[in-house]
Amino acid sequence: MEPSFVQITPEKVDLLMALMREFYAIEHLPFDESIIKSSLATLFADDSLGRVWLIGLDQETIGYVVLAFGFSLEFHGRDALIDEFYIREPYRGKGIGKRTLQFVFDFCASQNIRAVHLEVDWTNDYARALYIKTGFRDHERHLMTRWIEK
């Protein structure tokens, strides 16, 4: 049961949209297809911003992962954020999440990225356990966000 990872192209946006709808519903996030497609178009136009991969298993797409790039003095240079990571429920608990994270770590190492970050809901014990097992550490800080409106 070895997953495959295919970098998404604009031609596969509809497949990604279906997965994102599922993920956003589970996470209770607002889903605005036009805003998401516009953001993806920006990402596709500039590889320096990040990557999106579809996760496959036996010719079936079972999830996706989005990696966004940044830079941090605290983390010694280039860093990345796993912005979104979703695997459909029937495929969880089978090691696919761990293999996906290893794929991301290997990719980051090949790009001289020094640190990988993510955020996880405090109530998602299953995901938190996976992330801790794969080396993530809690900084005991709160992620805070302020939208910049035009």
Domain locations along the chain: 4-133
What's the helix, strand, coil split of the chain in %, to 5?
A: 40, 25, 35
Residues 138, 136: Cα–Cα separation, whole Å: 7
Fold classification of 4-133 is Aminopeptidase (3.40.630)
| Residue range 25-60, pLDDT digits in tens | 999 999 999 999 999 999 999 999 999 999 999 999
Instruction: Give the residue with greater pLDDT, 11 vs 63.
Output: 63
What one-character DSSP code corresponds to residue 110? H
Average pLDDT (58-81) is 95
Largest CA distance in the chain: 47
